[in-house]
Amino acid sequence: MAELDAASAAVVARRRAQGAAGEDLLGLLLRAVDSGDLAPEGLRDELVTMVIAGHETVASALTWTLHLLAQEQGAQRRVAEELDAVLGGGDERGGRAPAWEDLRALVRTRAAVEESLRLFPPAWVVSRRAVAEDVLDGVTVPAGTTAIISPWLLHRRPELFPDPEAYRPERFEEGLSRGARTAYTPFGAGPRLCIGRDFALVETTLVLAELLRGASVHPAPGARVRVDALVTMRPRDGLRLEVRPR
């Protein structure tokens, strides 16, 4: 707790020293403090929430995407073709660095992330506590019940995602069926939908493009990947990959 407190205090002190609050999320929160809408402890809580919710989830998503692309070289080649076309590959550095303006064209790269979020949703379970009795699809749910929703299971329903265990990013390029769109919940759903969803998809797509524009990934010889499902889902002993220039 002390480390988190110190880290968030340092971020705030640095920004305060610059004078203007700024136009980003921190700036908005600082203005809310200045106008009395947010207590200083509330600011600390918001910052810590953003770091905790936005750090390991994104790292986990990128880790599993690299794992899947290493396993499925065909899918990885399709991403590489796109990166070469969009970023001007061919030279030994794999073209230029991806930028915000490239996002619309990075269709396959984004689909590679979305399909990975289907098979390995970092938030593999989401839970809710019933504040009052309710009836869900004919089932009475008493007040106080903990309901657990598992994106991991929803994402593997064969009637919605044919051949569900296969890593096939094309699903997202072709467009999901309506039912599949509803069941696809790596970022949750409804009023508590992940506030960082769009940011996360931009971030992961651009980072993946940067990692793979000049390199390819392959399973490390002898490495075994086992899933540890804790708060987020991660490979038990880390992910060992062979990285080759391409």
Q: By CB under 6 A, name the binding residues for ligand HEM.
A: 49-50, 53-54, 57-58, 61, 122-123, 126, 186-188, 192, 194-196, 199-200
Give the count of beta carbons closer than 10 Å to the beta carbon of residue 66. Answer: 20
What is the H or E stretch that residue 190 is in? none
- Cβ atoms 173, 108 nearer than 8 A: yes
Burial code (b: 16+ CB inside 10 Å, e: under 16) for 169-206 equals bebbeeebeeebeebbbbbbeeeeebebeeebbebbbb
- 45 assigned to a ligand binding site: no
Nearer to ligand HEM, 7 or 223 (CB): 7
Nearer to ligand HEM, 89 or 115 (CB): 115
Nearer to ligand HEM, 126 or 220 (CB): 126
At 126, list the tokens: 């989401």
Q: How far is the CB of 242 from ligand HEM (least distance, A)?
A: 25
Longest dimension (CA), the chain: 63
Nearer to ligand HEM, 8 or 89 (CB): 8
Q: How far is the CB of 62 from ligand HEM (least distance, A)?
A: 8
Q: How far is the CB of 187 from ligand HEM (least distance, A)?
A: 5
- Cβ atoms 76, 212 nearer than 8 A: yes
Q: How far is the CB of 55 from ligand HEM (least distance, A)?
A: 8
Give the count of beta carbons closer than 10 Å to the beta carbon of residue 225. Answer: 18
Nearer to ligand HEM, 15 or 218 (CB): 15
Q: How far is the CB of 79 from ligand HEM (least distance, A)?
A: 18
Q: Is 56 exposed, middle or buried (0-12, 13-18, 19+ CB in 10 A)?
A: middle
- Cite the annotated binding site for heme by residue number: 194
- Cite the annotated binding site by residue number: 194
